[in-house]
Amino acid sequence: MKMTLTPDLQEKYEKLKGILRDMQSVLVGFSGGVDSTFLLKVAHDELADNVLAVTASSATLSWDELEESKQLAQIIGAPHLVIEADELKCAEFVKNPPDRCYHCKKLRFSILRNLQLEHNLKWLADGTNADDEDDWRPGIKAAAELGVRSPLKEAGLTKLDIRELAAAVSLPNWDKPSMACLASRIPYGEEITEIKLQQIAEAEKFLRGLGLRQLRVRHHGNTARIEVPKDDWPRVIEQSEMVVEKLKEVGFHFVSLDLSGFRSGSLNCVLAKKSFAS
Examine the domain organization and report whether 65 and 107 are in the same domain: yes
Examine the domain organization and report whether 42 and 164 are in the same domain: yes
Q: Which pLDDT score, from 0 to 100, does residue 132 have?
A: 83
Q: How confident is the model at residue 268 (pLDDT cuts 50, 70, 90)?
A: low
Q: How confident is the model at residue 275 (pLDDT cuts 50, 70, 90)?
A: very low
Examine the domain organization and report whether 155 and 202 are in the same domain: no
Q: Which pLDDT score, from 0 to 100, does residue 57 have?
A: 95
Distance CA 167, CA 77 (A): 18
CATH number of the domain residue 91 falls in: 3.40.50.620
Examine the domain organization and report whether 127 and 39 are in the same domain: yes
Examine the domain organization and report whether 195 and 158 are in the same domain: no
Instruction: Give the residue numbers spanning the domain of 155.
Output: 7-168
Q: How confident is the model at residue 134 (pLDDT cuts 50, 70, 90)?
A: low
Structural domain includes residue 44: yes
Q: Which pLDDT score, from 0 to 100, does residue 178 have?
A: 86
Q: Which pLDDT score, from 0 to 100, does residue 270 have?
A: 52
CATH number of the domain residue 220 falls in: 3.30.300
Distance CA 236, CA 105 (A): 34
Q: What is the mean pLDDT of residues 142-149?
A: 94
Structural domain includes residue 114: yes
Q: How confident is the model at residue 239 (pLDDT cuts 50, 70, 90)?
A: very high
Buried b (16+ CB within 10 A) or exposed e, 107-133: bbbebbeebbeeeebebbbbbbbbbbe
Sequence-distant (≥ 6) Cβ neighbours of residue 274 within 8 angstroms: none
Q: What is the mean pLDDT of residues 255-272?
A: 74
Provide the percentage of residues in the chain whose pLDDT is more than 90: 88
- Contact present, 51 and 25 (Cβ < 8 Å): yes
Chain mean pLDDT for the chain: 92
Does the pLDDT of residue 168 top 60, yes or no? yes
Q: What is the mean pLDDT of residues 76-93?
A: 95
Q: Which pLDDT score, from 0 to 100, does residue 180 have?
A: 87
Examine the domain organization and report whether 117 and 201 are in the same domain: no
Structural domain includes residue 58: yes
Residue 202 identity (one-letter amino acid): E
Residue 76 identity (one-letter amino acid): I
